[in-house]
Amino acid sequence: MDPLAPLPARPLTGGSVLAVDIGGTKFRVGIVGAGGEVLASALAPTPKAADAETLWSSLAAVVREVLDLGAAVDAVACGAGCGGPMRDHGDAVSPLNIPGWRSFPLRSRLQDLTGLPTFVDNDAKALALAEGRYGGAAGADDYLAMVVSTGIGGGLVVDGSLLDGRLGNAGHVGHVIVEPSGRRCACGARGCLEAEASGTAIEAITGKPPAEASADVIERTGMLVGRAVASVAALLDLDLAVVSGSVALGYGAPFFAAAHAELSQRARLSFVADARIVPGGLGADGPLVGAAAVGFRGIERGGRP
């Protein structure tokens, strides 16, 4: 299936969104239509060690490059996805993977640059929105969307709405404890899913890049993801987890089989007994389409972030 095949546009959305994906390795900017289709895009490497204004100059150059393509003529909003934590709906972002930005006013800078109503959210939550609109959770009102990559992030949709939480950080499934006496996590705790099953953790444990993992490591990684999903599913009455990211999708079928086996064994309450873990449906465009979904949601909410 072509995950980016145009789908019928949702009501209240017209035009396109200027989408901005702030990644630790690259900035990607594009124009995304209301059906989730990427109409144009450009990217540049993230100058990871740079200071705040140098980072901004690099990002602004990619934004201008896309605006100059002319495909943004019907853009109704700018949407951005950025690593957490953040506050004030993206007016103070401090992505852990971009040390030069601490309380950086990303939302207002993008709005000043583009002249468009601008909305910013956590990148994993953004992807969760997009999976529900266009991807592996299309039509579902209750699900967990996860990214198992260098780190592990997630977003929760419950009763049809993406959960924000008190400060906007709901969905940090990477910090569900899966091995009580396991490895120390960057957050300070021990045995978090991210400390055991992220690409960074796999490399630290095996001494090899995650792509070179043995069958045992792939199975263990899937098993731990399934364990975390079992807890989340029971807590929130969910029966679907959509999992993407380079580690999960790169490992493929054996990863998903191990995750599902662990989930089935751990989740025994009647309402989670049929819970499923499926691959994300948006492929490499997921983060960009997620950023666009943040923009479309902002417009649909009448400008409320």
Taking CB under 5 A as the criterion, the residue among 192, 242, 275, 282 binding Zn ion is: 192
Cβ contacts of residue 298 below 8 Å, gap of 6+?
77, 79, 117, 118, 119, 304, 305
- Let me know if 209 is exposed, middle or buried by CB neighbors in 10 A (0-12, 13-18, 19+): exposed
Distance set, CA 264 to CA 44, 180, 269 (Å): 42, 21, 10
Q: Is 282 helix (H, G, I), strand (E, B) or coil?
A: coil
Q: Which stretch binds Zn ion (CB under 5 A): 43-51, 127-135, 155-163, 192-200?
A: 192-200
Identity of the residue, 189 or 284, whose beta carbon is nearer to Zn ion in the bound complex = 189
189 versus 235: smaller Cβ distance to Zn ion: 189
Q: Which is nearer to Zn ion, 165 or 254 (CB)?
A: 165
Q: Does 172 bind Zn ion (CB under 5 A)?
A: no
Which residue lies nearer to Zn ion by CB, 184 or 301? 184
Task: Please give the backbone phi and psi of residue 192, each rounded to the nearest 5 degrees, phi first.
Answer: -65, 150
Minimum CB distance to Zn ion, residue 170 (Å): 15
Q: Which residue in the block uniquely carries the two structure tokens 């465009």?
A: 285
- Contact characters 18-47, Zn ion, x per CB under 5 A: ------------------------------
175 binds Zn ion (CB under 5 A): yes
Nearest to Zn ion of 63, 144 (CB atom): 144
- Helix or strand (DSSP H, E) at 122: strand 118-122
Q: Among 12, 96, 187, 204, which residue sits at the site for Zn ion (rule: CB under 5 A)?
A: 187
Can you count the helices (H) and strands (E) in the chain?
9, 12
Q: Which residues contact Zn ion (rule: CB under 5 A)?
A: 175, 185, 187, 189, 192
